[in-house]
Amino acid sequence: MMMANRERLLLAARELFLEQGYDASVDAIIGRAEVARQTFYNHFKNKESLFAEVVRDCFLDVLAPLNGHTDNLQQSLMSFAEIYRQRVLNPESIAAYRILSGQALRFPDLVREVYALGTGQMTERLADFLRKAMDEGHIRHADPVFAAELLLAMAVGQERSQRLFGIPCREEDEQLKIKQVVDGFLRMFAS
Amino acid sequence: MMMANRERLLLAARELFLEQGYDASVDAIIGRAEVARQTFYNHFKNKESLFAEVVRDCFLDVLAPLNGHTDNLQQSLMSFAEIYRQRVLNPESIAAYRILSGQALRFPDLVREVYALGTGQMTERLADFLRKAMDEGHIRHADPVFAAELLLAMAVGQERSQRLFGIPCREEDEQLKIKQVVDGFLRMFAS
DNA sequence: CTTAGATTAGACTATCCAGTCTAGTTTTGT
DNA sequence: ACAAAACTAGACTGGATAGTCTAATCTAAG
C-alpha cells in the first residue's frame, strides 16, 4: 500500500495548494491526507518537490483537442474554442494559474516548464492547424503562431482576468460568444 | 516632516511588495524605508492597510487615454492599443497583476475594487468609444462591451501570460503587431 | 526653555512553519 | 514466523513573523 499514501498526499496537496497557494502548510496537508509527518518525508524530499509534482499534474489538464480536418474551419475552431474555454476557465485552472504565476519568481524553471507543457503546446498545435488551413487556401497566409495566440486570447477574452480577480462575470450565451469570436477570427483571416 | 516618513514607507512597500508579494516582511519594509518599527505603526494600522494603500496606487497607473474622435478609427485605436500595451505589459504592472490575483482570496473586496478602478474603467471607456463609433456608422452594431473586451484581449494576446510566467517573449515589431490587431478588429466589425 | 508629539532602537510575546529525530507499531514479503 | 520496510504520534530545533511595549532621543511650536 505504499502508493496509497503517496496518492493521498498528492490529492490533499492538490486541494490545499489550489485553495491556499504555496502557503498551505505541510501540517495541513498531512492532516487532510491523514498521514503521519514522517510518511510525508518518506515520499517527498520536501514541500517544494511535492508542489512541483502537483503543479505539473494540474497543468496537463489544459490541453484541448483539435481535430485535424480543415475542411470545416468554423466548426473545428468552434468546438476547439469551446473545449479550450472549459479547460482554462474552470475554477481549478484559474486557481492553478493564480498560484503558478504567483510562484514564478520563486520557482522560475518549474513555472516555465509547466507553461510550455500547457499553453505552449496548445499554441503550437493550433498554429500547426492554422498553417495547414493557410496552405490549403482556407484562410489568408499570415504568421500562424501570431494567429494562434490571437485566437486563444480572443477565446478567453477578459474572463480569465475577471475570474482571477474574483469579479462576478455577467452570464452570457456561451455558444453565441464562441460563434462571434470564431466568425470574427475567420473574417480577420479571410483569404 | 511627518509625511516624509509615510511616503518613504509607501515607496519602500511598493518596491518590496512588487518584488516579493504580500510576503515581504514588515522588517524588510521598515529597513528599506530606514524608519523605526514604531513609526510604521504610527502611520498604518497594520500590514494589511499598508498593502491596500500601495495596491490602490499601482493599479490606477493602468488607465490609457483614448481621444474621443471616431473619425479616424484606425488611428485612434492604434494609439490607444499602443499605450494600453505599454501600461499593462511593463514589469511593474505584471508584478502588480501577479500579486493582486494571488491575494484575491485573502482580500476579495480590495482586489475587486482595484480591478474595477483599472481594467474595469478602461473597458467602460473603450466600450463608450465603440458605441459612439457604432452609432455613427463607422463600425457594425454589436454589444460594445463585448467588442471592448475583445479588443483589449487581442491587444495583449498571450503576452501577459508569458510575462507572468517568466517566458521569454520573442521580440517582434510592436507597431506591426498593433496594426494587425486593430486592422483585424476593424475587419471583424466592418459595417 | 519647555513641552508634546514624533521618532528611534530594540526587547518581547505569541504564533507559525519546515524539517529532523525518536520510539513504538503495523504491514509486507519471503 | 520473522525481518525489513513503512507507518504512527509527537517532541524538538531553528528560524521567521506581526504586532506590542518601553525608554530614550529628537524636533517643532508656544
CATH code of residue A27 = 1.10.10.60
Do A10 and A82 share a domain, yes or no? no
**Is the minimum distance from the CB of B12 to strand C below 7 Å?**
no
ipTM above 0.90, yes or no: yes
**Would you call A161 and B99 a contact, using CB atoms and an 8 Å cutoff?**
no
Do A50 and A96 share a domain, yes or no? no
pLDDT at position A41 is 98
**Is the minimum distance from the CB of B27 to strand D below 7 Å?**
yes
- The secondary structure of B47-74 as a DSSP string is HHHHHHHHHHHHHHTT-----S--TTHH
**Is the minimum distance from the CB of A43 to strand D below 7 Å?**
yes
Residue A130, C-alpha cell as written in the block: 492554422
**Would you call B108 and A177 a contact, using CB atoms and an 8 Å cutoff?**
no
Q: Which residue has the higher pLDDT, B189 or B66?
A: B189
pLDDT at position B189 is 96
Q: How far is B107 from chain A (nearest CA, A)?
A: 10
Q: Work out the mean pLDDT of chain B and round it to a whole number.
A: 94
**Is the minimum distance from the CB of A37 to strand C below 7 Å?**
yes
Average pLDDT score over residue span B23-35: 97
Do B68 and B143 share a domain, yes or no? yes
Q: Is the per-residue pLDDT at B168 higher than 60?
A: yes
How far is residue B112's CA from residue B91's CA, in Å, rounded to a whole number? Answer: 22
pLDDT at position A2 is 62
Neighbours of B178 (CB within 10 A): 20
Q: Which nucleotide is closest, CA of A27 to its C1'?
A: C17
For residue B125, name the pLDDT band (cuts at 50, 70, 90). very high
A181 in contact with B at a CB cutoff of 8 Å?
Answer: yes
pLDDT at position A154 is 98
CATH number at residue A107: 1.10.357.10
Q: Work out the mean pLDDT of chain A and round it to a whole number.
A: 94
**Would you call A108 and B166 a contact, using CB atoms and an 8 Å cutoff?**
yes
Q: Is the per-residue pLDDT at B173 higher than 60?
A: yes
Q: How far is A66 from chain B (nearest CA, A)?
A: 19
Q: How far is the CA of B164 from the C1' of D15 (A)?
A: 30
Q: Is the per-residue pLDDT at B58 higher than 90?
A: no
DSSP SS3 for A191 = coil
Do A80 and A153 share a domain, yes or no? yes
Do B50 and B97 share a domain, yes or no? no
DSSP SS3 for A62 = coil
Q: Which residues between 116 and 155 in chain B have a beta carbon less than 8 angstroms from any beta carbon of chain A?
A: 116, 119-120, 123, 142, 146, 149-150, 152-154
User: Domain range spanning residue B9?
Assistant: 2-55
Among the residue ranges A180-184, B103-107, B167-171, the one predicted with the least confidence is B167-171
A111 in contact with B at a CB cutoff of 8 Å?
Answer: yes
Residue nearest to nucleotide D8 (CA to C1'): A36
How far is residue B104's CA from residue B140's CA, in Å, rounded to a whole number? Answer: 37
How far is residue A91's CA from residue A97's CA, in Å, rounded to a whole number? Answer: 10
How far is residue B141's CA from residue B147's CA, in Å, rounded to a whole number? Answer: 10
Amino acid at B23: D
pLDDT at position B135 is 97
Domain boundary among B15, B30, B55: B55
Average pLDDT score over residue span B21-30: 97
For residue B105, name the pLDDT band (cuts at 50, 70, 90). very high
How far is residue B14's CA from residue B59's CA, in Å, rounded to a whole number? Answer: 12
Do B67 and B98 share a domain, yes or no? yes
Q: What is the pLDDT of residues A68-112, one digit of tens each?
A: 788 899 999 999 999 999 999 999 999 999 999 999 999 999 999
**Could you say which nucleotides of strand C lie within 7 A of any protein CB atom?**
6-11, 16-23, 27-28
- Return all residues near B50 (Cβ < 8 A) that are at least 6 apart: B9, B10, B13, B29, B40, B44
Q: What is the pLDDT of residues A146-183, one digit of tens each?
A: 999 999 999 999 999 999 999 998 888 999 999 999 99
pLDDT at position B63 is 74
Cα–Cα distance list, B126 to A3, B2, B29, B64, B157 (Å): 54, 41, 38, 10, 17
Do A24 and A113 share a domain, yes or no? no
For residue A67, name the pLDDT band (cuts at 50, 70, 90). confident
Do B47 and B73 share a domain, yes or no? no
Do B51 and B81 share a domain, yes or no? no
Q: How far is B69 from chain A (nearest CA, A)?
A: 24
Structural domain total, chain B: 2
pLDDT at position B34 is 96
**Is the minimum distance from the CB of A41 to strand C below 7 Å?**
yes
Average pLDDT score over residue span A5-13: 96
**Would you call B112 and A165 a contact, using CB atoms and an 8 Å cutoff?**
yes
Q: What is the pLDDT of residues B82-99, one digit of tens each?
A: 999 999 999 999 999 999
Q: What is the pLDDT of residues A10-55, one digit of tens each?
A: 999 999 999 999 999 999 999 999 999 999 999 999 999 999 999 9
pLDDT at position B1 is 55
Q: What percent of chain B has pLDDT over 70?
A: 98
Q: Which residue has the higher pLDDT, B138 or A170?
A: B138
pLDDT at position B27 is 98
- The secondary structure of A26-90 as a DSSP string is HHHHHHHHT--HHHHHHH-SSHHHHHHHHHHHHHHTT-----S--TTHHHHHHHHHHHHHHHHHS
Q: Which residue has the higher pLDDT, A65 or B106?
A: B106
Count of A-B CB contacts under 8 Å: 106
**Would you call A102 and B21 a contact, using CB atoms and an 8 Å cutoff?**
yes
Q: What percent of chain A has pLDDT over 70?
A: 98
Do A81 and A149 share a domain, yes or no? yes
Do B122 and B158 share a domain, yes or no? yes
pLDDT at position A62 is 75
pLDDT at position B120 is 93
Q: Is the per-residue pLDDT at B67 higher than 90?
A: no
Do B39 and B123 share a domain, yes or no? no
